Every structure is written in structure tokens, then in C-alpha cells.
Amino acid sequence: MPGATLDPDTDRRAARADADGAGHGHSHGLIDTSIKRSRAGMQAVLISLAILGLVALGQTVVFVLSGSIALLADLIHNFGDALTAVPLGIAFALRSGTAERYAGLAVVAAIFISACVAGVEAVGRLIHPSAPTHLVALALAGAIGYVGNFIAGRVRLAAGRRLDSPALIADGKHARADAYVSLGVILSAAVVALGAPIADPLIGLAITVVILRITWQSWVVVAGAGHAHSH
């Protein structure tokens, strides 16, 4: 027949070449998927880093003006949130599941440390009372914290669920909860304006308790993912 070969060896070589070509194409597909996942993860991390970084910088200016402990608790926490982008970004750059699990642990540690620092500052202000000032700016800083954390949380949660990344999911839930923590800053400004300056460090302590709860919830997510992976 025209175009048909009569050499069995030639046919076998051609079949092997086709199989090798198919296998080669499949491996490229896997690599491409891994690279896409890495890029998507890093993009989510960088976007949320930019958002939380701007929030923290803006709140720093208002803290210097107002001296609010409630704002300081939120500010410290937001800086910690922004810094969690570093281990998460490294993990996605390495395209390593192990690195992602360690990044998740780093996220939990950062949340816990921020809670401890905020708690110490709140207790110090209770011992040495001082009323915050610039209350309008203080309320605005709380509103900025709410919006920034809400957006960052949505970005990280959406990416974490899409990429099946427990570390990103934990950080996304953490940022989303922080949005409501920032509302405490607005409450502090309102109560102080009504003539109860003691409310500021008390709200700072309440924020600390909420952050500790977030720490535990994030630990459950990350540790649970690590346990499932080991099995």
C-alpha cells in the first residue's frame, strides 16, 4: 500500500518515538502546572503584601499622632501579617509542599508574637494611663485597617482554595478576621470621645484576645494539613 512500511524494525522505532514524544509532552504539562501554581501563589502573596503594607504604614502615622494602644495592637498585627508574605512567597517560589507547611507554621508564629506584643503594650497603658488624641484620624485608621484586611483576606483565601494551599487559607482566614479586629480601633475612638479614655487599653486587650483565638484557629488549619499529608 502507498506510504506503508515493510520493515518491522522501522515501525517499532516509530512507535517508540511517538510514545517518547507523548511522554515528553505530558511532563511539560506537569511542569507548566507547577509553574502556574507558583506564579498564582506568589501573585496573591504580593498583592496582599502591598495592601497590608500600605495599611500598616498609614496606621503608623496615625499612631504617632494619637498614641492609641488599640491602634498599636492592630498596627503591630498588620505589620506581622505583611511579613508573613515572605515565607509564603519563598515557599511558592520553591514550588515545595514542605516549604509551604513551614511557611504556614511561620504565619502562626507571627500571629502569636503580634498578640504577645500587643498584650504587653495594653497592660503597660493600663498601668500608666494616657488618653489617645486625634480621634477622627484614629477612627479613619481603623476603617483603613478594616478595608485593607478584608481585601487581603479575600485575595489570600481565594488563591488558597484554588491552589489547595493550607498556608494561604490559614493566612486568608487570619486577615479576614483581622478586618473585624480593626473595627475595635473605631470603637476605641468613639468611646474615648465620649469621655472614657480607659477604654483604649481595654479594647487593646480585647484585640489581643481575638488575635490569640486567630492564632489557635490558624494552627488547627496548618497542623491538620500537615497531619493529613503525613498519612
In a domain, 17, yes or no: no
Separation CA 47–CA 117 (nearest Å): 26
In a domain, 46, yes or no: yes
Phi, psi of 67 (to 5 degrees): 70, 20
pLDDT at residue 228, rounded to an integer? 56
For the chain, give the percent of residues with pLDDT over 90: 9
| Residue 71 belongs to domain spanning | 41-224
Residue 156 lies in a domain: yes
**Could you give the CA distance from residue 1 to residue 118 in angstroms, rounded to a whole number?**
84
Number of structural domains in the chain: 1
pLDDT of 151 strictly over 90? yes
* pLDDT bracket for residue 194 (50, 70, 90): very high
pLDDT in tens, 76-113: 878 877 777 888 888 888 888 788 888 888 878 877 88
Q: What is the pLDDT of residue 216?
A: 86
Average pLDDT over residues 205-214: 85
Confidence bin at 27 (pLDDT 50/70/90): very low
Query: Which residues lie below 8 Å from residue 107, measured CB to CB, with a gap of 6+?
Result: 84, 87, 88, 167, 170, 171, 174, 218, 222
| Position 12 in a domain | no
Q: Are 143 and 186 in contact (CB under 8 A)?
A: yes
Range among 142-146, 165-169, 181-185 with highest mean pLDDT value: 142-146
Flag whether 22 is in a domain.
no
Q: Do 181 and 208 meet the contact criterion of CB atoms below 8 Å apart? A: no
31 domain residue, yes or no:
no
- Mean per-residue pLDDT, 175-191: 83
pTM metric for this prediction: 0.68
Model confidence band, residue 21 (pLDDT cutoffs 50, 70, 90)? very low
Contact 118, 72 (CB under 8 A): yes
CATH number at residue 151: 1.20.1510
DSSP line for 72-124: HHHHHHHHHHHHTHHHHHHHHHHT-HHHHHHHHHHHHHHHHHHHHHHHHHHHH
In a domain, 133, yes or no: yes
Residue 2 lies in a domain: no
Cβ atoms of residues 140 and 186 within 8 Å: no
